[in-house]
Amino acid sequence: MKLAVVAAIVVATGVVWADPETDAERDFQAAVARGDAAALEALGARRPTTRWTDDAWNEAARLAERAGDYARARRDLEQVVTIGTDEQLVRRARAELARLQSFTGDAGQWNGVAAEHERLAARIVGGGDPKPALDALAALVAANPAYPRGSAARIVIAQGWERDGDADRALTWLREAVAVATRPLDQTRARIELVRMLIRHGELAQADGEIDRVAADSKITGELRGELRSAERHATIRIALWIALALIAMATAFVLRRDAGSWRAAGKSLARPPIEVLFLLPIAVVLAVVAATGNPMVARAVRAVAIVGVGVAWLSGAMLELARRRRGKLGARRAAVHAAVAAIAVVAASYLAIDRDRMIDLIVETWRSGPAPR
């Protein structure tokens, strides 16, 4: 009878016995959704413990590291190791602690440098003008020669300068990254980056020599050899395209001179932009300006293709106008040949512009795999 009365009171008043596991799961999911490290740490400190306790500390450590607070991340991971009941999670936490210690120091003496390194690296790859962040990161590694991740920081600097169009400076930084690497794994990574950058910028003989010095497994060196062979094929294609463009340029000069009657008249015929250029130029300018707000390599390629398109349209329009003045109406054969040569010139010059920074490989990869997820 007493139990029935108690049950009736519970139902009537809406009192529900709390379930610590259910409450902990709800609070964990909510804190993760907000990215609230403090709430996760509070959940980890809550007693009695639940199966979400070690997960809360682990997720708090991840958020702390992302924010550049390495001391806090290490403290949270130590909690996972101390109270964790999931052996796999504890094992991963120990590995993460060792990784953090490898670049922040046994006593966390490199915490500030590592946080600044990550902040500047994010600015370098985040778009816009990378030069201020590049200079700041260069000053940081110069002021801290014993920083354990000095080689990795130099790789970021090299990649930033490459995107900004200064390949020579980028290669200098990569060679320095190889030289200062204190761990074999860091040196191997830096040397692989050096090989790939040498390949991208046509230094194929140097790349070949560096591959022999890469201390990596046969799969990695095999991939590098494959990239080198691909680059050699690209080099052959570029030579063929330059020859084709040279022949087209000579033929264009000959036809202009013949139809104009003199070099002076040919020059005058080019002074006034044809209607094709007046139509194309605003579009090309807009495309170049929009591209300039994004990746510098893409911007250079778009700018070069736009210039090529306008230049070919200018020459093509001038040649057609001179031909009409000299012969009257153009035949279908002449018009077809003219269009085909102009198309070849645009395609060849565009390929050379895109392939200058090996962007052709990025285009092929994007075509095969689709755009990167946002």
Domain ranges, ordered by start, for the chain: 19-104, 130-216, 240-369
Residue 351 pLDDT exceeds 90: no
Identify which of 261, 251, 265, 247 has the alpha carbon closest to the alpha carbon of residue 316.
251
Percentage above 70 pLDDT, the chain: 90
Which residue type is seen at 374? R
Per-residue pLDDT tens over the stretch 137-183: 999 999 999 999 999 999 999 999 998 889 999 999 999 999 999 88
Q: What is the distance between the alpha carbons of residues 40 and 26, in angstroms, rounded to a whole number?
A: 12
Place of tokens 């200098």: 172
For residue range 278-317, list pLDDT tens digits in order.
888 888 888 888 887 777 777 888 888 888 888 888 888 8
Name the nearest CA neighbour of 339 among 276, 282, 278. 276
With bands split at pLDDT 50, 70 and 90, how would you rate the model's confidence at 189? very high
Any idea which fold 19-104 has?
1.25.40
Give the per-residue pLDDT at 369.
Answer: 54
Alpha-carbon distances of 166 from 169, 172, 296, rounded to whole Å: 6, 10, 11
Q: How far apart are CA 177 and CA 155, in angstroms?
A: 6
Q: What is the pLDDT of residue 16?
A: 47
Rounded distance, CA 332 to CA 309, Å? 23
- Alpha-carbon gap, residue 75 to 49, rounded angstroms: 18
Question: Would you say 81 and 97 are in contact if contact means Cβ atoms under 8 Å apart?
Answer: yes
Q: What is the model's pTM?
A: 0.69
